[in-house]
Structures are given as structure tokens and as C-alpha cells.
A and B are shown apart, each in its own frame.
Chain A
Amino acid sequence: MSGNEAAVFDKVGKTYLLPRLGRPQPLEAVKGVSFGIRRGEILGLLGLNGAGKTTLMKLMAGLLAPTSGTVRVLGSDPRNPETRRRTGFLPELPYFYPRYRPAEALAYYASLSGMDRAAAAPAVASVMAKVGLAPHADKRISEFSKGMMQRLGLAQALVHSPDLVMLDEPASGLDPIAIHDMRVLISGLREEGRTVVLSSHSISELEKVADRVVMLSRGGVVSCVESSAWRGAEGGLETLFMEAVR
């Protein structure tokens, strides 16, 4: 792993054991995956449903352990507490306690990331302003729309100023304006020097925001393309993706 890489997957495989009567049934979600993520870039993971995007995200977030191969994040094991302090994760369709107000939820997650109260209060206020939730600070989360929930999800991933941010389907279920706002927010993270990994099955979204896209199919990497490749290609990223997965 070079110093320029925020994360590295080396021949990574992940097999789930599905509970079945008698003997658990293995399901190979990811196999032989190898690629690196450069510091400061926005890397997109593109694939059909079941291609292994979420599994790769969870492996990077340290929620899963690989069955084979190694995952290194910011130079060490993703389950290392110090690594977790420096990463932020937004799962698909995040849930928050409906009776909380957004600042309460963010203060809790900031504290779990190791921030004390004195540091958490300004960080919470700042991240709420950044994601556009400041005008809704007095609302309960139960009153939030899907778009506001997704903004809150992004805020919890950013509240502790992580170096690497992992966003699993951040535009899932959002309306066009919310998708646009989300895109602006993600591009802003790159300006701040953070590394962003986002998964999506929306080609147009990744096309607009990513610097590089790793294409996945049936648990393996089928192609890795730079933004210059799809900007110059006829049909854009969609054509490249279709060629890669067919």
C-alpha cells in the first residue's frame, strides 16, 4: 500500500453463510477483488443489485471481516479503533430515533466517535449548516422527509471530520432537487481534501460526481475507468458499463 492510497483491497473474498435447516448454505458475495482508492478522490462503485457494492462498503467500514484476502483502510485494519475514528459511513436508508432532534442524534454519534462535549457542540452545529439541516434544528426526526433523513445520515458520517467517507447509495429514494443537493455536498467533500467512496446503481449520478468508477458484476471487479474515459466516449459511462458487464 503506497502513501497515496486511502484504502486497498487485495484479493478480497467474502462468503456469507445463510442459515438453513441442517447445514448453512454458503453465498459468495465478493470474490478476488483487488483495487486501491487514492487519497482525495471520489471513487464510485457501480454495479447491478447483488454485485457486491454494499459488501465492499461494509468490509471497508469494518462491519464485516473478509473470508479471504486483506482490506487496509488508512494504512491499517478497518476494525482498528483509530481507523474507525478517521472514517465515516452512511448506510443505505439510514434510520434515526424518531423522537430525537437532529442535534441530539449527531451529538450521540460524535461522542461515539470519541469527541468530548466541548468539541462536539461546534462540530454538530457546523455539519448541520453544511448539509442544510440548520433551519430544521427544532424539528423531531419523525417529522423529517426522506431527503432530510439522508442529509442527517450524511451529517452523522461527517460530524467527526473523517478522512475517508463511505456512502452507500446516498441518492437512494431522493427527489431530483435532493439528488442535486447531495451531489453538491459530495463534490464539496473532495474540495476539503477528503476521500469519498460511494456506491450506486445510478450511472448518471456517478458520471457527474466521480473521478473514477470501479464496475462490479457478480461479486468481482470487471473494469475500472477514469472520468476522462467516459467524458470522451460516445454514450458516456453507460456504454462503458454495458460493455463491461455483458
Chain B
Amino acid sequence: MKAFFSPALRVASHSLRLHLRDRFFGLFLLFALLLIYSSLLVGVMAVYQERRALMDFGLALMELMGLAFCVYASATAVSSEVETKTIYLVFSRPVPRHSYLLGKMLAVFGAAAVLLAATAVMHSSLLLLRGHAPDGLYFAALGYSWLKLTLISSLVFAVSMFSTSALSSMVIGFILWMLGHFAPETVFMAAQAGGEGSPLEFLARLIPNFQLFNFKDALDVPGAAAPPALALAYAAAWWAGSYGFAWALLRRKEF
């Protein structure tokens, strides 16, 4: 176990530092700050619903910023090391490929947490400025957003192992993100079009259901998001599946 986790943690801590030092990370934060504070205008327009407008707009922006960063970071995590040949310096050492992959994924998960935390500080400061203190539900919504971001990150990792470029991995990632927000509807339409139990329906069921993580909807519609244990288990199943798929491809690659 030590031979598996020790190199993974070393790769993870190194890669996390690289993500946090990346100029794109700083740009995402700056952009998030501008957008979050511009939501003041939305709050003003909402008049009596200012708290709700600021909350919804801010949480959505934070998630979108996180999505952009996670898709970019996951799509380039391995491919950039292959292009620059730094992967030779890693794989010529006693670092198993499964540990390397795990370390890279954990680093993106960690960077997503840091990004969400930093944008949450910005957003909370705006809420406090307007006299709306964030409550426990707000932080629960952040937790669900993080799960969602880690899920899409692990999927993009898997896609990046077979796609021809980082750009195509990113495009597929964004498509999966959009489809995932309409997963039940897609399954329904696939069943209608191809019949129940058809290959089309089976394919539609392979799309992750991001609606389970829409906790900010649950603030208005109780039961809209999955309970925490189910959401965590669902995300963990996708992490494991994506990791296994990505590893199966990475172990066969020659550099």
C-alpha cells in the first residue's frame, strides 16, 4: 500500500503546487472576483429578493469558474507532461503509473477545493457587505459543487487518455457537463426513441447525472438534490470508474 500511496501523494503535492502557481489559476480567481462583485447589479434589480439573487448568481458563477479550471487542468495534466517530456523524468523512477494518475487526479481535486474556497471567501464578503450572512446550507451547496467538479474532472482525465488533443478533451468535457444536467431527460428521450432497454438508452445511462448535486435548487425545492451520502457514493463510483478506465489506457501507453 505504501508503494502505491507514497508516490501518489508526492505527485499530488507537487502537481497541486503547480496548479496554484499557474497563471491561469490566478486569472480564474481574478475573473471570479469581477463576476461575483458584478452580481451586485443583479441583486439591486431583484429588489426584495436580493439575498436569493446574490446567492444563486454567486454560487452559479463559482461553479462555472471551477468548471472552466477543472476541465482545463484535467485535460492538460498528463498531456502537457507528455509534450514537454517531463513524464520521462517521472516514469524512469520507481513511480507506478497508477500512482502517478491518482496523484494527478488528487491534485486537480485539491485545486478545485482551493478555488471554491477562495471564491467562497469573495462571495461571502459580498453577502456580508449586503447584510446577508451565509448559513450552513450555503456551505453544503459548496460541498455539492465540489463533488460535481471532481466528477467532471475525473471524466475529463479518462477522456484525455484517448483523445487526440487537450482541446478535444475540454470540448468533450463541456459537452458531458451540459448533458449531465439533463441526464434523466436524456434517458427518457432515448427510451422513447429507441425503446426501453435499447442500446441508445444504455448509452444515455452512461451520462453522469449532475442534477443530483444541484443543492442550490434544493434551497427552494426540498429534495431536488440527492442526500449527502448518496451524492458522495455516486461521485465516488464515477471517480473509481473513470480512474480505472484512465489507468487501463495509461498502462498501455508508450512514451
Whether the Cβ atoms of A61 and B254 lie closer than 8 Å is no
B255 to chain A, nearest CB (A): 6
Q: Is the CB of A89 within 8 A of B92?
A: yes
Question: Does A82 sit at the interface, judged by CB under 8 A?
Answer: yes
Complex Cα distance, B207 from A227, in Å, reads 64
Instruction: Give A210 to B96 CA distance when docked, in angstroms.
Output: 33
State the A residues within 8 Å of B (CB). Answer: 16, 58, 61-65, 81-82, 84-85, 87-89, 91, 93-97, 99, 108-109, 111-114, 156
Docked pose: A82 CA to B21 CA in angstroms: 33
* Complex CA–CA separation, A79 to B108 (angstroms): 28
Min Cβ gap B24→A in Å is 13
CB-based contact B94/A85 at 8 Å: yes
B85 A114 Cβ-Cβ under 8 A: no
Tell whether B18 is near chain A: CB-to-CB under 8 Å: yes
A108 cross-chain contacts in B, Cβ below 8 A: 10, 14
Q: Do A113 and B93 contact each other (CB < 8 Å), given the known contacts A81-B3, A95-B85?
A: yes
Q: Which residues of B contact A (CB under 8 A)?
A: 3, 7, 10-11, 14, 18, 21, 84-86, 88-96, 254-255
Can you list 13 pairs linking A and B with CB atoms under 8 Å apart?
A58-B88, A61-B88, A63-B88, A64-B255, A85-B93, A89-B92, A93-B85, A95-B85, A108-B10, A108-B14, A109-B93, A112-B10, A112-B11
Closest 3 CB pairs of A and B: A81-B94, A89-B92, A95-B84
Smallest beta-carbon distance B225→chain A, Å: 39
* Chain A residues in 8 Å Cβ range of B86: 94-97
A23 and B206 CA atoms in complex are apart in Å by 29
Distance between Cα atoms of A108 and B10 in the complex (Å): 8
Alpha-carbon separation in the docked complex, A81 to B92 (Å): 9
In the complex, given contacts A85-B94, A108-B10, what are 10 additional A-B residue pairs having Cβ atoms less than 8 angstroms apart?
A: A61-B88, A63-B88, A63-B91, A63-B92, A81-B96, A91-B85, A94-B85, A94-B89, A95-B84, A109-B89
Q: How far is the CA of A88 from the CA of B92 in the complex (A)?
A: 8
Chain B neighbourhood of A61, CB < 8 A: 88, 92
Counting chain A CB atoms within 10 Å of each CB, the highest count among B7, B84, B90, B94 belongs to B94
Chain B residues in 8 Å Cβ range of A99: 18, 21
Residues of A within 8 A of B254 (CB): 16, 63-65
Chain B nearest CB from A165 CB (Å) reads 11
- Known contacts A63-B255, A109-B93; decide if A97 and B85 are in contact (CB<8 Å): no
Contact assessment for A82 and B89 in the assembled complex, using a CB-CB cutoff below 8 Å = no
Which residue in chain A gives the minimum CB-CB distance to B87? A63
Closest to B86 in A: A95
Task: Give the contacting residue for B94; candidates A95, A96, A113; CB below 8 A.
Answer: A113
For A92, the closest partner residue in chain B by CB is B85
Bound-state CA distance A153–B89 (Å) is 9
The residue on B at minimum CB distance from A114 is: B94
* Alpha-carbon gap, A85 to B7, bound state (A): 13
CB distance from A86 to the nearest CB of B (A): 10
Are B88 and A84 closer than 8 Å at their CB atoms?
Answer: no
Expressed in whole angstroms, the Cα–Cα distance for A108 and B86 within the complex equals: 12
Closest to A65 in B: B254
- A62 close to B14 (CB less than 8 A): no
Partner of A97, one of B7, B10, B18, B91: B18
Do B7 and A112 have beta carbons less than 8 Å apart? yes
A196 to chain B, nearest CB (A): 15
A107: shortest Cβ distance to chain B, in Å? 9
Q: Would you call A84 and B85 a contact (CB within 8 A)? A: no
Q: In the complex, what residue of chain B is closest to A84 when comparing beta carbons? A: B94
B94 lies within 8 A of A156 (CB): no
- With CB as the reference atom, state the residue of chain A lying closest to B95: A112
Residues of B within 8 A of A109 (CB): 89, 93
**A64-B254, A112-B7, A114-B94 known; A156+B88 contact, CB < 8 A:** no
When distances are taken between beta carbons in the complex, the residues of chain B under 8 Å from A62 are 91-92
